[in-house]
Amino acid sequence: MSAWRFVHVTDIHLGSPRSYRFNPAYGENWATAAGQIRALAPDLVLVGGDITRDGNLNGYEFAGSRAALDALGIPWHCIPGNMDTGNKHADRQGARPDRDDVACNVTQAQLDVYTAAIGPLTWSFVHRDVRFSGCYEAIAGTALPSAHALDAWLDGLAALPRASRHVMLNHYPLFTDTPADPPRDLADAGQYLDWYFSIDPGPRRRLIDAYRRAGVTHVLSGHIHCRRPPLTFDGITYCFGAATAFTQWPQRWPDGDATLGFQVFTVTPQGINCAFEPLARVSTRTDGRGPGGHPRPADRHA
Ligand SMILES: [Fe+2]
């Protein structure tokens, strides 16, 4: 088997000038990334969610994101991110006064908009003896119909034909430090971001157990917009990926690096190697408009 490549790109946040906030710099960064990806000519591209700026509010944003991905001319496979659909569920208001966490909870209607515009919430296929699977793991453990479908999909994953490796695409990282991370209290300002940027222990355990039964070897995530060197726990390698649009949380880990770019994976008979590809040029446009984060409705005016 000769060496071949696939790319993991995430958090491209293209958005639309029709929306209450919009940053053309994110589109310029995507154009730069797309040129670099085309030049690498990977077999396929894994798109790790947050393909829109506010797809959870403005379903029309998906058409532009889909066109941008199609223009790669390379097969791509996508899962939703929290800005495409909605956030992992909060059971109460968190410590941030600038957002309403419960109102940000992902709904079935938002998931249905994504599915109609982009495709299924779960998928799995084999390419050149590597199994690739993807799911929006943030819904695990909720009462949403799609969460029940995710449960059934997870239960069936182990029965699929095995390949030499199994790569799982997620949006949220499953943890911020280790798979044994304790619950994070969203009402505690000091723990809020660890809560926001990871999956809670109950659904995390469920997901990792299913991944292990299915022979998952690599879990790829986005959401944080800060990459880390791959981490291996109990035989699964977790790859926290960089964003192309903008950076977040660069100070969280000593080995964190919020440089914008994407991940290039090279598959050989010996295994899968992950390399970071920084953007060749970061946009310097300053004509973006609108607030960041998860603005309350009263603040959503450009
Ligand atoms: Fe994002």
> pLDDT tens across 98-115, in order?
999 999 999 999 999 999
Q: Report, as an integer, the average pLDDT of 10-14.
A: 98
Helical residues (DSSP H) of the chain, grouped into ranges:
24-40, 61-70, 108-117, 145-157, 192-196, 201-213
Q: Report, as an integer, the average pLDDT of 59-82.
A: 98
How many whole angstroms from 235 Cα to the centroid of ligand 1?
A: 27
Q: How many CA atoms lie within 13 A of 68 on its CB side?
A: 26
How many whole angstroms from 127 Cα to the centroid of ligand 1?
A: 27
Distance CA 281, CA 23 (A): 16
Contact 114, 85 (CB under 8 A): yes
Confidence of residue 87 (pLDDT cuts 50, 70, 90): very high
How many whole angstroms from 147 Cα to the centroid of ligand 1?
A: 21
Q: Report, as an integer, the average pLDDT of 53-80.
A: 98
How many whole angstroms from 53 Cα to the centroid of ligand 1?
A: 8
How many whole angstroms from 82 Cα to the centroid of ligand 1?
A: 7
| pLDDT score recorded for residue 301 | 77
Q: How far is residue 258 CA from its own chain's centroid? A: 15
| pLDDT score recorded for residue 302 | 60
How many whole angstroms from 1 Cα to the centroid of ligand 1?
A: 35
| pLDDT score recorded for residue 298 | 86
How many whole angstroms from 48 Cα to the centroid of ligand 1?
A: 9
- Neighbouring-strand partners of residue 28: none
Q: Report, as an integer, the average pLDDT of 173-187.
A: 98
Residue 1, pLDDT above cutoff 70: no
Q: What percentage of the chain carries pLDDT values higher than 70?
A: 99
How does strand 218-221 pair with strand 236-240? parallel
| pLDDT score recorded for residue 263 | 98
How many whole angstroms from 214 Cα to the centroid of ligand 1?
A: 27
Residue 163, pLDDT above cutoff 70: yes
CB atoms under 10 Å from CB of 235, counted, come to 9
How many whole angstroms from 267 Cα to the centroid of ligand 1?
A: 27
Is 295 exposed, middle or buried, given 0-12, 13-18 or 19+ CB atoms closer than 10 A?
middle
Q: Report, as an integer, the average pLDDT of 13-40.
A: 98
pLDDT single digits (tens) 191-205: 999 999 999 999 999
- All structural domains of the chain, each given as residue ranges with its CATH number in brackets, are 4-287 (3.60.21.10)
- Neighbouring-strand partners of residue 78: 47
Is 106 exposed, middle or buried, given 0-12, 13-18 or 19+ CB atoms closer than 10 A?
buried
